[in-house]
Amino acid sequence: MPVDKIRQLYRHKMDCTDTYLAVDTLELAEDYVHAWAKRGIKAKVATSMTEAIELLMKNDYLFVGINSDVINFWSLLLTMRSVTNTPLFVATANWTLKKELAALRMGADMYGQWQGSIDENIDRVLAHVERVNAWNSENPRILSKVLINYKLIIGPHGVFLNNKKIKFTPQEKRILLYLCINKGIELTHDQIIEDVWDIASDSGTYENLHKRINKIRKKLPKEYIETVHGIGYTMPILD
């Protein structure tokens, strides 16, 4: 499918920028809903990350508020970022720097614990929304609609190379997307495993990672993925 036709699939989203999308129920969610309503902003609740992704493929929201304790949060955050420009704000009751860095690398715009009053937190979110949207207007995140790297296109409708669709398993696609997001960065084996595999999964081993990287390499030109000996992998920046 040509690049322009893939992009066109995402040009007809409904404008819901007077609404924020809440994934799962957050602490004090009802109080937040009332506080946002006073500012003229409505709430839409998705009961799961999967439902939120489906909504984001159809609508543009002001921002997305996510509870990091929802099922499959880590494995679905990459997919969510791949379908929307909408700012993604993640609330957690179990903050660690390691988790925050993982979330930011996978596309979250903010990750942490709410601090201060409801109005202070709303002001904080709006400041981030303003900054992210200003940046998007000058430097559109192609990733959020379809991610284009060289002649490679990664989107919700599949992976395309030179306008030809290539079959990838969901796990292979997540690894490939993660490498694209971090293009030019040397990623350790542990980083990839921790960020791409679900934290609760026991399948994230060096052996499984190597197997999947090898399968991905067989489907792409050899220069797309480089081994960083003793460290991990990188997708180089090519002219």
Residues of the chain with pLDDT > 70, as a percent, come to 77
pLDDT (0 to 100) of residue 150:
52
Write down the architecture of domain 3-142 according to CATH.
3-Layer(aba) Sandwich (3.40)
φ, ψ for residue 207, nearest 5 deg: -65, -45
Weakest mean pLDDT among 26-35, 117-126, 195-204: 195-204
pLDDT in tens, 71-114: 678 778 877 887 787 889 998 888 888 888 888 878 888 898 87
pTM of the model: 0.58
Residue ranges of domains in the chain: 3-142, 146-234
Instruction: Check if 3-142 and 146-234 are the same fold.
Output: no
* Class in CATH terms, 146-234: mainly alpha
Q: CB–CB of 221/236 below 8 Å?
A: no
Computed over every residue of the chain, the mean pLDDT equals 77
The string over 15-28, giving b where at least 16 C-beta atoms fall within 10 Å of a residue's C-beta and e elsewhere, is ebeebbbbbbebee
pLDDT in tens, 186-217: 999 988 888 787 544 556 688 889 999 999 99
